[in-house]
């Protein structure tokens, strides 16, 4: 290779290197700017991304404590009920028959015990026979207590004032132990829940006022933060916030949702 060719090759290499470094620099600055913009967007109070859901302070699923056939359901979905009201009855005819049998056995055991006690006064029976009669009577009484406890599970009563959200079975259907019968909630104690990024934790406090613009309404509903979640989700890096609602809550239903706006303290 001649000297002239060597110089041209070096010159060409320098040019390529220069453009390569320049391109890398431009690309790096562009990526840095994009990352900076993204960081600014995430670190700002982008409240449009926060959505709240209306929940109830008292919401539960009532399940069957025994396997049995449903005898009667006394409420319908959407119907209101009072605390202590009978909601569902299960068919417990077999248990009722066992209870009747156990009561007859108890009566016989008590008569036998009375007779043994009278004989014991004349020393016609020993102390062992008398004690066995007492044990037999107590055993029958224990069987009665067990059957009565089982019969208490044949009636499902309302744990609080509320509304029926869902009925899982129909009358005459068979339910197994632990299967859900009803879902109920108290619509008189509505709350709201939403998730926020964990980095907002230092800017949120119990008592902070908020507004929720529900999708179904043209007016906002108000509330205050009553509780912050006890821990941060390590996967989503989010924190749950619970809000106590106030003001006009007419027509506000469980499950509604909307955008959250944080008000000035």
pLDDT digits (tens, 9 = 90+) for 171-216: 999 999 999 999 999 988 889 999 999 999 888 999 999 999 999 8
* Residue 40: pLDDT over 70: no
Beta bridge partners, 258, equal 52, 214
- Burial of residue 52, with CB atoms counted within 10 A of its CB: 0-12 exposed, 13-18 middle, 19 or more buried: buried
Q: In this prediction, what percent of the chain has a pLDDT beyond 70?
A: 82
Q: How confident is the model at residue 231 (pLDDT cuts 50, 70, 90)?
A: very high
* Residue 28: pLDDT over 90: no
Check residue 189 and give its pLDDT. Answer: 82
Q: Are 55 and 190 in contact (CB under 8 A)?
A: yes
Q: Is the pTM of this model over 0.75?
A: no
Chain-wide mean pLDDT for the chain? 82
Domain borders along the chain are 47-58+187-262, 59-185
Query: For 59-185, CATH number?
Result: 2.40.50.100
Among 30-34, 127-131, 214-218, the minimum mean pLDDT is found in 30-34
Q: Comparing 153 with 26, which gets the higher pLDDT?
A: 153
| Fold designation for 47-58+187-262 | Elongation Factor Tu (Ef-tu); domain 3 (2.40.30)
Check residue 187 and give its pLDDT. Answer: 83
Summarize pLDDT for 49-81 with one digit per residue, the tens. Answer: 799 999 998 889 999 999 999 999 999 999 999
- Please compute the mean of the pLDDT values over residues 103-129 and round it to a whole number: 88
| Residues 203-212: contacts with CB under 8 Å, at least 24 apart | 204/228, 204/241, 205/265, 208/262, 208/263, 208/265, 209/262, 209/263, 209/265, 210/243, 210/260, 210/261, 210/262, 210/263, 211/260, 211/261, 211/263, 212/52, 212/243, 212/258, 212/259, 212/260, 212/261
């Amino acid at each position: 290779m001649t000297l002239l060719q060597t110089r041209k090759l070096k010159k060409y290499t320098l040019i390529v290197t220069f453009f390569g470094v320049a391109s890398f620099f431009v690309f790096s600055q562009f990526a840095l700017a994009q990352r900076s913009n993204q960081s600014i967007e995430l670190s700002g109070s982008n409240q449009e991304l926060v959505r709240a859901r209306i929940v109830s302070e008292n919401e539960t699923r009532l399940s069957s404590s025994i396997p049995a056939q449903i005898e009667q359901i006394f409420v319908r979905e959407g119907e209101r009920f009072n605390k202590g009201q009978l909601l569902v009855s299960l068919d417990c005819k077999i248990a009722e028959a066992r209870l009747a049998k156990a009561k007859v056995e108890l009566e016989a055991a008590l008569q036998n015990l009375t007779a043994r006690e009278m004989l014991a006064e004349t020393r016609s029976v020993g102390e062992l026979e008398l004690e066995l009669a007492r044990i037999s009577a107590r055993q029958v009484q224990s069987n009665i207590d067990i059957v009565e406890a089982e019969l208490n599970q044949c009636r499902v009563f309302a744990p609080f004032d509320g509304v029926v959200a869902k009925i899982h079975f129909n009358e005459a259907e068979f339910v197994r132990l632990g299967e859900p019968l009803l879902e109920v909630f108290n619509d008189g104690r509505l709350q709201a829940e939403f998730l926020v990024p964990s980095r907002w934790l230092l800017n949120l406090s119990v008592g902070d006022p908020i507004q929720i613009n529900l999708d179904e309404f043209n007016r906002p509903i108000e509330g205050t933060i009553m509780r912050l979640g006890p821990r941060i989700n390590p996967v989503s890096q989010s924190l749950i916030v619970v809000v106590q609602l106030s003001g006009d809550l007419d027509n506000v239903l469980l499950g509604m949702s909307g955008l959250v706006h944080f008000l000035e303290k």
